[in-house]
Structure 1
């Protein structure tokens, strides 16, 4: 039975975290203390130093030789059940890979490090810290890597379908990726070069585009104007929208891979900071691809026309039915019309035409006949991309180093030197508070707390706070967890949405509004929800 002392202990652990979050929120929203650029700097510190050092601190102090195998098995089983059910739905009921990734993220990946450790320690005792750290290790090394693999697989299929539609892709025998290509997420425009060997096999080279800005003639024709970024010094181009439009590159056989992610790089690490929320001064820092293209499918910018060209799909309130069709390098044909009745395009190198419904049907038929390269070729491509992405993530190193040190320390009873231990502790002590502070800054810079709409938000909250704990309780009972361990497993499954899945969703342009709502709104409702679970399970 839960008494007032137990309840007070939980509140003492959680209120300081929420206090840090709301102070940050008020500092931006009401008191105007921090500018968006300053928020980005604070968030950068959290992503690169505070959270990685915090992860190292907890993992290095956990004894890996006394791991609770039943608890780990229950957590793993619950995630595998979700993955299996979603896979069946995606394959046999046309659920699709996109929703498989999103629903798996929402249902199985809570904020264990920042919220789980202090909350569960206050509820059920110090021994739960070890259990939460074990889950953190699994999340960082296994589940986030799997999630990244799924995102890169999706990005690879989009690139292949765009550049090699129909049966052509089946002839690809090898992908060669330039060293400066870190990911296929679309944040950097990519281009492909292909060679055909004597056996008819295709070798494809993927490299960054040498032209990442629209042509000046094209820009003046359709109203694209450069504006300086408040975040990075790079230029962000807009077509009367809050986000960047597709990239346009003029070249010969090389074609820019033109689906864009949702925000520009801030620096070399910005694309892979697992806890980087990267607040921006624009009206929104998610779902910009949908705003530009007028679609919820997050499809690539470039699609192939029946004539062998490529169609660019800009969308803005000022331009209606605008399509750019590449029929040959450097030339397009057709016309578009503004809503005010004025034509755009004309007698220049670039002109426009409207794609007909018949062409749409042909494109859909081509997509349905799409073939893919061999499994080994595709897996090698994805593994290279995942490896490069992880190699630029500070949390990857902190988790692995923490695990290695714990293996050495508890195996041979080696203590960390006081000089190093104190240096780590001074940053890790600030880690929890700064992580919550960063969340508050992120909340304040968003136009809406519920970004994905009320219905989708309710569905997401039900999956996060009802379906997740239900499946976790079933898996826990199945492996034999009882008592306090069972209650711990259920409550940790009811924690708010993890930050890392949202960062990935934003980078790859896949339902970032849903994950953003899960992070922000989920954080607000998680305290009463977890308290209800705590009280109910204590009866």
Structure 2
């Protein structure tokens, strides 16, 4: 059973995130330290580089957009920061081992799939825009390689090529250049070789990964604070989308996981762990990617900030209910 000491450990793991969030909020709202362009640069750094530190630990357009956001809300969880201490308190080291494995699945499957959907949406929107008017010569922060890839789509359109195949080619080229896609694969390959050949990561490399991991978590919450400070209201998305985000995270995700787990024959503690990990609060990376691609960042920031606050009593409620039902 969970004791007060276990709950304190979970709170200790969450509290530093909100310190970074408040610093980010204050740096824009009160101290005016960053401009809009600098805030965009911080988020781009997170979306392309800082999130890589995680590998070391292990229809209509509107409906399509919301499908991507709902997918992100239901699948991406904060397994390392919240999941590990929660599972340690509830199920011991066995629960922690399962959560770490699920974190690898999330990194290798769900995050690349989310990026694929976001790139497809972004490229399709660019395709529809360039088909009606030429793109303005404005530098929006894209590197030259990305600009060349997107311009290839414009050339294909003007040359009368098939839209679907040109769209698919551009999406896959941009995915191939995204370090988030292959970094987790390299991390898994390294872990497998290290386990097989019985060697450890050199301290100089381990220190480099560790500092990127800490930078990614802290700067991501700092970036959420900046984003909230730039909005007119703290809950910028309104009541309806906020409720949708929290229900997707804490009800829809666990329900789908429970049905799929029962369908494949899971039972006992393994089933309980599968359901509880699906109710772990929203991953910070989901906001980073949503903000980078301009898709419902206000909904995702609210899900991260307020979902993490209310997650502990909800997780304890899931734990007690599952133990009682067993």
Q: TM-score range by the shorter chain?
A: 0.7 to 0.9
Indicate yes or no: 2:310 matched with 1:525: yes
Is the CA contact (8 Å cut-off) linking 2:116 and 2:175 kept in structure 1? no
Is the CA contact (8 Å cut-off) linking 2:284 and 2:304 kept in structure 1? yes
The answer for the alignment partner of 1:407 in structure 2 is 192
| Deviations, residues 172-219 of structure 1 (Å, cap 9, x unaligned) | xxxxxxxxxxx4443996359xxxxxxxxxxxxxxx94x516xxxxxx
The answer for the alignment partner of 2:179 in structure 1 is 394
| C-alpha distance 41-456 of structure 1, shift in aligned 2 (>3 A) | closer
Indicate yes or no: 2:206 matched with 1:266: no
The answer for the alignment partner of 2:136 in structure 1 is 212
Alignment of 1:149-168 (within 5 A): 149-153=116-120
Is the CA contact (8 Å cut-off) linking 1:152 and 1:185 kept in structure 2? no
SS at match of 2:223: helix
Following superposition, the deviation at residue 405 of structure 1 comes to 0.8
Which structure is higher in strand share? 1
Q: Distance in 2 between matches of 1:188 and 1:504?
A: 22
Alignment of 1:327-366 (within 5 A): none
Q: Which structure's CA Rg is the greater one? A: 1
Alignment of 1:17-36 (within 5 A): 17-30=17-30, 32=31, 34-36=33-35
Q: Distance in 2 between matches of 1:462 and 1:531?
A: 17
Q: Distance in 2 between matches of 1:134 and 1:427?
A: 21
| Deviations, residues 270-322 of structure 1 (Å, cap 9, x unaligned) | 98xxxxxxxxxxxxxxxxxxxxxxxxxxxxxxxxxxxxxxxxxxxxxxxxxxx
SS at match of 1:34: coil
The answer for the alignment partner of 1:186 in structure 2 is 126
Q: Distance in 1 between matches of 2:112 and 2:274?
A: 22
| C-alpha distance 102-212 of structure 1, shift in aligned 2 (>3 A) | same
Residue 250 of structure 2 is aligned with which of 453, 460, 465?
Answer: 465
Alignment of 1:80-479 (within 5 A): 97-121=64-88, 123-153=90-120, 183-186=123-126, 190-191=130-131, 209=134, 212=136, 234=138, 265-268=140-143, 378=164, 380-479=165-264
Alignment of 1:23-62 (within 5 A): 23-30=23-30, 32=31, 34-36=33-35, 39-40=39-40, 42-53=42-53, 55-59=54-58
Indicate yes or no: 2:10 matched with 1:15: no
| Deviations, residues 489-514 of structure 1 (Å, cap 9, x unaligned) | 22221233335555555566555544
Q: Distance in 1 between matches of 2:67 and 2:227?
A: 26
Q: Distance in 1 between matches of 2:203 and 2:298?
A: 45
Q: Distance in 2 between matches of 1:453 and 1:114?
A: 27
> What is the TM-score of this pair, normalised by structure 1?
0.48
Following superposition, the deviation at residue 402 of structure 1 comes to 0.2
| C-alpha distance 266-448 of structure 1, shift in aligned 2 (>3 A) | farther
User: Which blocks of at least 5 consecutive residues in structure 1 are unaligned?
Assistant: 60-89, 156-182, 193-207, 214-233, 235-263, 272-372
Is the CA contact (8 Å cut-off) linking 2:276 and 2:318 kept in structure 1? yes
| Deviations, residues 69-116 of structure 1 (Å, cap 9, x unaligned) | xxxxxxxxxxxxxxxxxxxxx79xxx9544433333332333335543
User: Greater relative contact order: 1 or 2 (C-alpha under 8 angstroms, separation 6 or more)?
Assistant: 2
Which structure is higher in helix share? 2
User: Which blocks of at least 5 consecutive residues in structure 2 are unaligned?
Assistant: 147-160
| Deviations, residues 232-274 of structure 1 (Å, cap 9, x unaligned) | xx5xxxxxxxxxxxxxxxxxxxxxxxxxxxxx73342998xxx
The answer for the alignment partner of 2:158 in structure 1 is none
| Deviations, residues 359-398 of structure 1 (Å, cap 9, x unaligned) | xxxxxxxxxxxxxx99xx83x4444233222233232232
Following superposition, the deviation at residue 422 of structure 1 comes to 2.9
Is the CA contact (8 Å cut-off) linking 1:2 and 1:535 kept in structure 2? no
Alignment of 1:508-519 (within 5 A): 511-519=296-304
Following superposition, the deviation at residue 11 of structure 1 comes to 2.1
SS at match of 2:222: helix
